[in-house]
A and B are shown apart, each in its own frame.
Chain A
Amino acid sequence: MIPSSVYRTSRWLAAPLLGAALATPALAQEDPIKVGILHSLSGTMAISETVLKDTVEMLIEQQNAEGGLLGRELEAVVVDPASDWPLFAEKARELLAQEEVDVIFGNWTSVSRKSVLPVVEELNGLLFYPVQYEGEESSENVFYTGAAPNQQAIPAVDYLMNNVGVERWVLAGTDYVYPRTTNKILEAYLKSFGVADEDIMVNYTPFGHSDWQNIVSEVKAFGSEGKKTAVVSTINGDANVPFYRELGNQGIDAADIPVVAFSVGEQELTGIDTAPLVGHLAAWNYFMSVDTDANYDFIDAWIDYTGDEMAVTNDPMEAHYIGFNMWIEAVRKAGTTEVDAVKDAIIGVSVPNLTGGYAAMMPNHHITKPVLIGEIQDNGQFSIVWETPSTVAGDAWSDYLPGSRDLISDWRKPMACGNYNVVTGSCGGGETQEETTAEE
């Protein structure tokens, strides 16, 4: 068994290498531009991150077919950090120091981003991070193309409060930094609208939790108090599958207690029989079911690239699509791939997104996005029931947390500061900033 699998792997590895070797002389007289891809191809996060690696590879292929960039060809450098957070830092160092890539597209979990952050800052790299996250961060070297809390969580809660009339809230999440920070922000936000303590129930579960009986039953009891109840779920990864299955089995209907999820997309739904989930909600900035030609073109290209007629697209893929195009645009504007020049050039760059609008890079390294609320359908897709009238600009520092309320981020010169405190008038956040970091 062992030798045959080794043989197979090596043959599979050889094919793309051979392809790349044959393609090279056709285009580039100069050295190719290296694009680093830092996504887990094995381990727990492989389920989500593998498709992102493929997405960037597809975008690179498309760009090369259009003649490359600055007359040079793009070349993907793929490494596998194997869902191992410290390994992310090591692999990032390998990409920047050894391979000398010009840009990195990568990471999924916040903990892996935090692990890569010091390396990217030390070696002055460029990182495009495509996943929704908890905010409270702004690095000179990182571009956040996923949603900040004010581009996902807050609008979703607004929707539930105003359009569904929810009065009682269950905040359920996986036990790590993203759900904890997001729920802290949401709690503060809900209380600012006068929601009482006893109307908020907070619950955390470990990664990969599979026994949801008790929690679902508690939610059911919590929801039978005569006030409209909703679950705001920051449950991450594949723990969602048994969670939704238990919801279905215990007969919790979306009409009674809707669940709005921030980490469940089309990709995650491919692992679930969605029939009992119809009507539960998700908040994202993109859905595969978005009815625009740009989106249909993207989907067709993706299906052709993967060769799988049933392949799905999701929000972080769109984020990479936007991030990649922004980087291309910025490099063209700067006329070089040199990091400092690209960093300055990219602010203000605006490229089409897949939902029929434009995404612009803000001075705080976050982008503008529309917020969509979708209901799960029986075919594993979302039907869009609500969207923000215009795009929302990402806010690095939440306005609802005491420590970060006074901070702003603006990487344009002369300010060039990721945590400028408007009260003390100094960069570095001052004492309040220390508090925020300490709490995490």
Chain B
Amino acid sequence: MTISPCLRRMLVLFLLAWLPLAASAQDDDGQQLLQSLDAASFTQMGEAIEAIITSGDERSRGWLEALLDGKLQRHKETGRFVVVLENRGRDWPVADALTGEAIGEMSRRDLDRLGINNALRGQLQSALAVLDLHVPETRDRREAARALLGDVDASLVEPLEAVIRVEEDAEVRRLLEQGLAIHRLEQGSLEAVASLQGSLNNRVRAALNSAARSDDPALAEAASVALADIEQQMKLNRGLETLYFGLSLGSVLVLAAIGLAITFGVMGVINMAHGELIMLGAYTTWAMQQLLPGQPGLAMVLSIPAGFLVAALAGIAIERGVIQFLKGRPLETLLATFGVSLILQQLVRTVISPLNRTVVTPEWMSGSIMINEGLSLTLNRLYVLGFALVVFAGLMLVMRRTRLGLEVRAVTQNRAMARSMGIRATRVDIMTFALGSGVAGLAGVALSQLTNVGPNLGQNYIIDSFMVVVFGGVGNLWGTLVAGLSLGVINQVLEPWAGAVLAKILVLVFIILFIQKRPRGLFPQKGRAAEG
């Protein structure tokens, strides 16, 4: 009885999936298979990978994964194949590729990596995805099915059809059918268009787009119609996406500016070192991650109070050391705090490093959540958006509902009167400045997830922060929120057609014009407080 290669491959895949630990030591075969991987050209290497996939060797999955990660290597002198366990530094711990035993460390000088390119990576990924179609977790199966979209070739059609017959999850079945339909579409099948109708997936659209350019007029026509329908739905998606981008940029602006809204808006101190307080918050996150290696999530959560504290203490030091002596002299305050900002920057540069620090993104903050196949929201920005709103709400609560808030408002409205009523104005100054600085620290914790953590981090945000506070109306927290979010949205709406550089300029021009018309911003303070 003859078995077709496709069927054989399918059987092998099943065997691989279901019998991962069947013990058989065919080291000669294994050595042979690996030897053929060490080929002169990537084409030969591709054939060697195919041979490994069809070999049925139970170790092949490990080999393919190691090859994909660039960790399958050959010892130069002995020709022994090893899997590198950790490839940082000069000497790497390795394991024998054939036996899987750890065999100590080898110098990277003595090892030759079996390098792959993007084409081979695609081949390996689809091979691994096919294997993954048999794992018990539904989520991983969906992931694997999605990865196969657009990568289905003739040899996979039969095995995938077999998988669809036994698959329980409807979503996996749908994705696999879509994958097959893309393949049929590439072969010129007109019916395939119907089954791809309405899908917002990028790869489906790519396939339809190439079909729309095909020589077969009927196919091209059908594909164009399907595309037009998809484009219609995408328009709504794009609108929502731009809104989300705008809100996300806005939330960053709000976070950066809200601390300044306290120190500048409420207290009237022009603090040019505000950006550096943000930077300190970001570095606290980095330091936390250094203290808790391997637990970026926990470090992230702990950085929130820590970042607040560090920045607040720095704020107190600045207030006691510099600002208190310059009360009522805004120009001197501006210059002195500018000096402080330079000192803080250089301090970080000398003590830590002039180079940017890596802040690891915790697992639960990376990637995106899919709303539908054409619209997904990036998680880190979603968290920052939520965090900004929480910080804002917290700050509102402090200002409106606590004794400190009451005292702050009293002192800013009429310092002399507040003092005569028994409020210790100096203490209130310190507390207010510490609060504003602490919030800047919180902004730093959030920004460490979005941008570079380096000595210049603060400089990039100081102008934007002042812009938001002035636009929103000095002394008004609601103004800061509305101004930040709306500037974010305006910027992102302008960006696609004006470009990033011009969009920024247009926003600045808009603010200049707006301030001409309404010098006190969006939400001017009313009443006696405004006169002062």
- Asked if A238 meets B452 with Cβ closer than 8 Å, knowing A5-B343, A208-B460, A250-B368, the reply is yes
Interface size of A by CB at 8 A reads 72
**B356 adjacent to A271 (CB under 8 Å):** yes
B376 within 8 A of A: yes
A249-B380, A254-B118 known; A271+B355 contact, CB < 8 A: yes
- The reply on A15 being an interface residue by CB < 8 A is no
- Counting CB contacts under 8 A, is B354 at the interface? yes
Instruction: Tell me which residues from 386 to 421 in chain A have a Cβ below 8 Å from any Cβ of chain B.
Output: 386
B119 contacts which chain A residues (CB < 8 A)? 164
B450 A375 Cβ-Cβ under 8 A: no
Residues of chain B in range 344-359 having any CB-CB distance to chain A below 8 Å? 346-347, 349-350, 354-358
What residues of chain A lie closer than 8 Å to B456, measured between beta carbons?
43-44, 208, 238
Q: How many whole Å from B102's CB to the nearest CB in chain A?
A: 19
**Which of B160-215 touch A at CB < 8 Å?**
202-203, 205-213
Tell me the smallest distance from the CB of B416 to a CB of chain A, in Å. Answer: 33
Residues of chain B in range 441-496 having any CB-CB distance to chain A below 8 Å: 450-456, 460, 491-492, 495-496
- Name 11 extra pairs, CB < 8 A, besides A217-B245, A271-B453, A379-B88: A5-B343, A50-B355, A208-B456, A213-B245, A213-B378, A224-B202, A224-B206, A310-B89, A375-B117, A385-B115, A386-B117
Are the CB atoms of A47 and B346 closer together than 8 Å?
no
Using Cβ atoms and an 8 Å threshold, which residues of chain A touch B248?
Answer: 213
Q: Does A220 contact B (CB under 8 A)?
A: yes
Q: A251, B367: Cβ atoms under 8 Å?
A: yes
Q: Which residues of B contact A46 (CB under 8 A)?
A: 349, 354, 455
Check if B417 is an interface residue, CB within 8 A of chain A: no
Instruction: Select the stretch in B31-39, B300-308, B498-506 that faces chain A.
Output: B498-506
Question: Does A119 reach chain B (CB closer than 8 Å)?
Answer: no
B residues less than 8 Å from A248 (CB atoms) = 366
Does any Cβ of A come within 8 Å of B361's Cβ? Answer: yes
Show 27 A/B contacts (Cβ-Cβ < 8 Å), sorted by A: A1-B343, A5-B350, A44-B456, A50-B354, A175-B501, A209-B500, A210-B452, A213-B492, A218-B496, A223-B206, A225-B209, A226-B210, A241-B356, A250-B368, A251-B376, A254-B118, A255-B121, A267-B355, A271-B355, A272-B358, A309-B90, A310-B89, A375-B117, A378-B70, A383-B70, A385-B117, A386-B117
Complex Cα distance A245/B122, Å? Answer: 21
Q: Please state if B205 and A224 are interface contacts (CB–CB under 8 Å).
A: yes
Contacts of B113 in A (CB 8 A): 289, 383
Q: Cβ of A210 and Cβ of B355 under 8 Å apart?
A: no
A164 adjacent to B360 (CB under 8 Å):
no
Query: B116 to chain A: which residues have CB within 8 Å?
Result: 383, 385
The answer to whether B210 touches A255, judged by C-beta atoms less than 8 angstroms apart, is no
* In the complex, A130 has a CB within 8 A of chain B: no
CA distance A89 to B233 in the complex (A): 56
What separation, in Å, do the CA atoms of A8 and B347 have in the docked complex? Answer: 10
- The answer, yes or no, to whether B526 is at the interface (CB within 8 Å) is no
- Chain A residue numbers with a CB within 8 Å of B454 are 47, 238, 271
Tell me whether B224 is interfacial, beta carbon within 8 Å.
no
A1-22: CB near B (< 8 Å → 1, else 0) gives 1100100110010000000000
* B274 at the binding interface (Cβ < 8 Å): no
Q: For the complex, give the distance between the alpha carbons of A175 and B501 in Å.
A: 8
The listed residue (B89, B209, B212, B381) touching A309 by CB distance below 8 A is B89
Residues on A with C-beta less than 8 A from B455 are: 46
**A41–B354 contact, CB under 8 A?**
yes
B242: chain A residues at CB < 8 Å are 214
B273 to chain A, nearest CB (A): 12
7 tightest A-B contacts by CB?
Answer: A226-B209, A226-B210, A271-B356, A46-B354, A249-B378, A210-B451, A213-B245
Within 8 A of B (CB), among A351-390: 375, 377-379, 383-386
B209 in contact with A271 (CB, 8 Å) = no
A205 at the A/B interface (Cβ < 8 Å)? yes
A203 x B499 contact (CB < 8 A): yes
Nearest Cβ in chain B — how far from A230, in angstroms? 10
Number of A-B contacts (CB under 8 A): 177
Supposing A42-B354, A251-B376 touch, asked if A215 and B500 sit within 8 A by C-beta, the answer is yes
* CB 8 Å contact bits of A236-256 with B (1 = contact, 0 = none): 001001100110111100111
- Given the complex, which residues of A lie within 8 Å of B206, measured CB to CB? 223-226
A256 CB to closest chain B CB (Å) equals: 8
User: At the interface, yes or no: B112 with Cβ under 8 Å from chain A?
Assistant: yes
Check A226 against B207 for contact (C-beta < 8 Å): yes
Is A273's CB within 8 Å of the partner chain B? yes
| Residues from chain A with Cβ under 8 Å of B54 in the complex | none
B210 touches A378 (CB 8 A): no
Least CB separation from B107: chain A residue = A296
Kindly state whether residue A191 has any CB partner on chain B within 8 Å.
no
Q: Classify the secondary structure of B's interface with A.
A: helix
- B269 within 8 Å of A by Cβ? no
Find out whether the CB atom of A273 lies under 8 angstroms from the CB atom of B361.
yes
B452 touches A1 (CB 8 A): no
A226 and B249 form a contact (CB under 8 A) = no
B-binding residues in A (CB < 8 A): 1-2, 5, 8-9, 12, 41-44, 46-47, 50, 163-164, 175, 203-206, 208-211, 213-215, 217-218, 220-221, 223-227, 238, 241-242, 245-246, 248-251, 254-256, 258, 267, 270-273, 276, 279, 289, 291, 293, 296, 300, 303, 309-310, 375, 377-379, 383-386
Asked whether any CB of chain A lies closer than 8 Å to the CB of B413, the reply is: no
| A238 to B450 alpha-carbon distance, docked (Å) | 12
- Evaluate contact between B349 and A241: CB separation under 8 angstroms: no
Kindly name the residue among B125, B355, B450 whose own CB sees the greatest number of chain A CB atoms within 10 A.
Answer: B355
* Docked pose: A351 CA to B499 CA in angstroms: 45
Nearest opposing residue in chain B for A213, CB measure: B245
Q: Which residues of B contact A310 (CB under 8 A)?
A: 88-89
Known: A206-B500, A270-B355, A309-B90. A241 touches B492 (CB 8 A): no
| Residues of B contacting A164 in the complex (Cβ-Cβ under 8 angstroms) | 118-119
- CB contacts (< 8 Å) of A379 on chain B: these are 87-88
Docked complex Cα distance between A377 and B66 (Å): 12
Name the CB-closest residue of A to B356.
Answer: A271
Within 8 A of A (CB), among B315-353: 317, 321, 343, 346-347, 349-350
A272 — which chain B residues lie within 8 A by C-beta? Answer: 358
User: Do A9 and B350 touch across chains, with their CB atoms under 8 A apart?
Assistant: yes
**Chain B residues, Cβ within 8 Å of A303:** 90
Distance between Cα atoms of A220 and B378 in the complex (Å): 14
Is B252 positioned at the interface, with any CB of A under 8 Å from its CB?
A: yes
Please, which residues of chain B bring their CB within 8 A of the CB of A254?
118, 121
Residues of A within 8 A of B207 (CB): 226
Q: Does B379 contact A (CB under 8 A)?
A: yes
Q: Is the CB of A214 within 8 A of B88?
A: no
Report the bound CA distance from A379 to B84 in whole Å.
Answer: 12
B452 and A242 contacting across the interface, CB-CB below 8 Å: yes
Q: Fill in one digit per residue for B72-103: 1 if any A CB lies within 8 Å of its CB, else 0.
A: 00000000000000011110000000000000
Cβ of B488 to closest chain A Cβ, rounded Å: 9
Residue of B nearest to A220 (CB): B202
Which residues of chain B are within 8 angstroms of A44 by Cβ–Cβ distance? 456
Mask: chain B, 248-276; 1 = CB below 8 Å from A; 0 = not: 11001000000000000000000000000
Closest-by-CB residue of B relative to A4 is B347
Question: What is the distance, in angstroms, from B41's C-beta to the closest C-beta of chain A?
Answer: 12
Contact A226 B208 (CB under 8 A): yes
The interface residues of chain B lying within 8 Å CB-to-CB of A163 are 117
Asked if B450 and A2 make an inter-chain contact with CB atoms under 8 angstroms apart, the answer reads: no
* Cβ–Cβ < 8 Å partners of A9 in chain B: 350
Contact with B360, one of A204, A246, A273, A276 (Cβ below 8 angstroms): A273
Q: Does B69 contact A (CB under 8 A)?
A: yes
Q: B403 on the interface (CB 8 Å rule)? A: no
Q: Which residue on B lies nearest to A384, using beta carbons?
A: B115
CB contacts (< 8 Å) of A225 on chain B: these are 205-206, 209
| Most B Cβ at <10 Å: residue of A2, A43, A221, A224 | A224
Q: Find the residue from A8, A226, A245, A379 having the highest chain B CB count within 10 A.
A: A226
Q: Which residues of A contact B378 (CB under 8 A)?
A: 213, 246, 249-250
Contact B460 A271 (CB under 8 A): no
Assuming the contacts A204-B499, A211-B249, asked whether A238 and B209 have C-beta atoms less than 8 A apart, the reply is no
